[in-house]
Amino acid sequence: MDYLPLFHKLDGRPVLVVGGGDIALRKSVLLAEAGARITLVAPEIEPEVRAFVEARGGSCRVERYAADQLAGHCLVIAATDDDAVNEAVSHDAQALGLPVNVVDAPKLCTVIFPAIVDRSPLVIAISSGGDAPVLARLVRAKLESWIPATYGQLAQLAQRFRARVKTRFADLQARRIFWEEVFQGEVAEKVFSGQPQAAEQLLEAKLTSETATFRGEVYLVGAGPGDPDLLTFRALRLMQQADVVLYDRLVAPTILDMCRRDADRIYVGKRRAEHAVPQDDLNRLLVKLAQEGKRVLRLKGGDPFIFGRGGEEIEELAAEGIPFQVVPGITAASGCAAYAGIPLTHRDHAQSVRFVTGHLKDGSADLPWTDLVAPGQTLVFYMGLVGLPTICEQLIAHGKDPATPAALVQQGTTLNQRVFTGTLQDLPQLVAEHEVHAPTLVIVGEVVALREKLAWFEGAQTAV
């Protein structure tokens, strides 16, 4: 982050604007919106600039800029077309430790103006750090169209009830949930549909009737295979609402970053053989956190119901009567296949697809090898790296053609994706040659050959 967004309280505070033309006027208008007391200095001041500043209670001084004018101000804006003056203002202000903005000269600034979406008291600031102001403005345009103009009214309504809600719900958690329901429920709907009085009555009723006890709940959410764009809308919404997040190694850091910032995060492990929190303890932890009244997000890679033990985790919740919901995610097989250009089924090559665990609990005895070698199907092995030599050996021993096309997809859908293709018999060698490591998905079947024509995703690494 190159700049830290802060909101500057300017109401009634003195700001110096150096410059007397159009640009100075534009900045003065913004400053006046925030209630700043403007002093404008320039050897020539356009009449409309003077009229504006004075109408807003500011003063204009027809003088050249000099460093001694800076004293007593809390913010300085240079908006002249004279580079030397702009530089001097920047230099002098910084020497005094004053925040300074020089219009269109990011290098001379210590603070910059963001693009603004104003739904006061709700204000959104967008910045590209001065690198791509047009992009920032485009983002603003999107937000403008996405956020109803009446959001400001909703925030004003909240402002009026804030103190009472605080008294009514001393507990921060309960208060947050109350407001979330207000902002996402009927009350907001009334405001948006132009019925502010009805909204106020509803809020009043909600405040006096609501019971103060909130029950916790658990969201078992699939985070997909890695690319954050593959999250579902619901996953994202719940990620931004949960109070505590339990995640394991498969969840990409970029995805974890999208959870509510102040949510507690608990790493529950799951590297092969490294169980940071054993499954039984984890199940109990989910119950315990929910019983404390928390909204608990159990975030899992891919889909929670595919080799994710999601079922086991919620069985205990169900037994304890704790409310939960399950949000599907894109499973590794779908994600990796799509991003590797390998259709899992194909009319000519594969009429079915099988998702198989490669985690061989009992040597090799626990997989139905005879079924797996049947023609016309694609096999996808999850957790198949460690057992790969056995898997290939057994498939071949049971009659699968050693020359069957096969692929390894490591960290599929992420920028680190690596794909290696070969044949069933040389898969273990590919792993050794390229130092392939987890998480990797193994795909076996004729469809793998289609990658040659259909590969499209490059990631940041060179694919083979």
Site residues (CB under 6 A) for ligand SAH?
A: 225-226, 250, 300-303, 306-308, 331-332, 336, 382-383, 409, 411-413, 438-441
Residue nearest to ligand SAH (CB): 302
Burial class (CB in 10 A: 0-12, 13-18, 19+), 395: buried
Residue 403 or residue 464: which is nearer to ligand SAH going by CB? 464
Catalytic-role residue among 243, 248, 294, 300: 248
Q: Which is nearer to ligand SAH, 28 or 417 (CB)?
A: 417
Q: Which of 345, 394, 344 is nearest to 371 (CA)?
A: 394
- Please report, for residues 10, 151, 152, 164, 269, the alpha-carbon distance to residue 121 in angstroms, rounded to integers and kept in the order given: 14, 9, 6, 19, 42
**Residue 361 three-state SS:** coil
CA distance to 88, 338, 358, 391, per residue, from 441 (Å): 61, 13, 10, 13
**Residue 383 labeled ligand binder:** yes
Distance of CA 312 to the CA centre of its chain: 28
Residue 217 C-alpha from the chain's centroid: 22
User: What is the closest distance, in whole angstroms, from the C-beta atom of residue 261 to ligand SAH in the complex?
Assistant: 25
33 annotated as ligand-binding: no
Tell me whether residue 32 or residue 333 sits nearer to ligand SAH (CB atom): 333
Q: By the 8 A CB rule, do 422 and 389 touch?
A: no
Cβ distance 434 to 356 under 8 Å?
no
Q: Judged by CB, which is closer to ligand SAH: 289, or 299?
A: 299
Closer Cβ to ligand SAH, 202 or 419, answer by number? 419
Question: Could you confirm whether 248 is annotated as catalytic?
Answer: yes
**314 among the known binding-site residues?**
no
Find out whether 38 is annotated in a ligand binding site.
no
Least Cβ distance, residue 82 to ligand SAH (angstroms): 56
Residue 306 labelled as part of a binding site: yes
Residue 1 annotated as binding site: no
357/360 Cα distance (integer angstroms)? 8
Annotate 97-119 with b (16+ C-beta within 10 A) or e (fewer). ebbbbbbeeeebbeebbbbebeb
- Written as six digits, the tokens of 123 are 């204000």
Give the Cα-Cα-Cα angle 391, 392, 396 (nearest 5 degrees).
Answer: 115
| Residue 281, both tokens | 């303890």
Residue 57 marked as a ligand binder: no
Q: Residue 301, annotated ligand binder?
A: yes
What is the SS3 assignment for 403? Answer: coil
Task: Return the structure tokens found at 327.
Answer: 């949000």
Shortest Cβ 221–ligand SAH spacing (Å): 11
- Among the listed residues 270, 294, 300, 400, the single catalytic one is 270
CB 5 within 8 A of CB 114: yes
Q: Would you say 120 or 364 has its CB closer to ligand SAH?
A: 364
Name the minimum Å distance from CB 1 to ligand SAH. Answer: 27
Query: What is the nearest approach in angstroms of ligand SAH to the Cβ of residue 355?
Result: 8
CB of 250 to ligand SAH, least distance (A): 5
Q: Which residues are annotated as a binding site?
A: 22-23, 43-44, 225, 301-303, 306, 331-332, 383, 412
Q: Which residues are annotated as a binding site for S-adenosyl-L-methionine?
A: 225, 301-303, 306, 331-332, 383, 412
Q: Which residues are annotated as a binding site for NAD(+)?
A: 22-23, 43-44
| Active site positions, annotated | 248, 270
